């Protein structure tokens, strides 16, 4: 399956408005664009908090390879995915990383936003 890439900041920001699936290795954000004829697109990000440039690039390379091997087949056409790496990606066995990514991508989306939006104590929570 062909998977496109998210390249610009507005594309990444648009995906933040979609659903989120949290995990110990990474956070998966996804948004259904409503265009089933177009291929899925994926982007990767690792914050500076996760380590120096060498470590962040290694995390990103591991995530990209996991998507290339298994994750791309589970991606739904017309959806955008952003994989936000966490520090544990460096230490995790690659097979565990691939399995976790495939499981998160194939998981059906929940209705509504993540727990963050409805957390008690937030001003916008009802």
**pLDDT tens-place string over residues 22-48:** 988 999 999 998 888 889 999 999 999
Query: Model confidence over 47-92: pLDDT tens digits?
Result: 999 999 999 999 999 999 998 888 778 888 989 999 999 999 999 9
Model pTM?
Answer: 0.80
CATH number of the domain that residue 51 is part of: 3.30.230.10
Question: Number of C-alpha atoms within 13 angstroms, CB side, residue 53?
Answer: 0
Number of domains in the chain: 1
Let me know if residue 126 belongs to a domain: no
Let me know if residue 124 belongs to a domain: no
Q: Which domain holds residue 47?
A: 4-118
- Rg of the chain over Cα atoms, rounded to whole angstroms, equals 15
């Amino acid at each position: 399956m062909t998977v496109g890439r998210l390249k610009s900041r507005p594309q990444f920001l648009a995906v933040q408005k979609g659903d989120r699936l949290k995990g110990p290795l990474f956070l998966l954000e996804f948004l259904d664009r409503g265009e089933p004829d177009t291929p899925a697109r994926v982007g990767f990000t690792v914050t500076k908090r996760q380590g120096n440039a060498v470590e962040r690039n290694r995390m990103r390379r591991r995530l990209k390879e996991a998507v290339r091997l298994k994750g791309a087949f589970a991606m739904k056409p017309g959806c955008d995915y952003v994989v936000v790496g966490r520090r544990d990606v460096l230490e995790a066995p690659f097979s565990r990383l691939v399995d976790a990514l495939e499981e998160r991508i194939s998981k059906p989306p929940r209705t509504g936003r993540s727990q963050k939006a409805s957390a008690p104590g937030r001003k916008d929570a009802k």
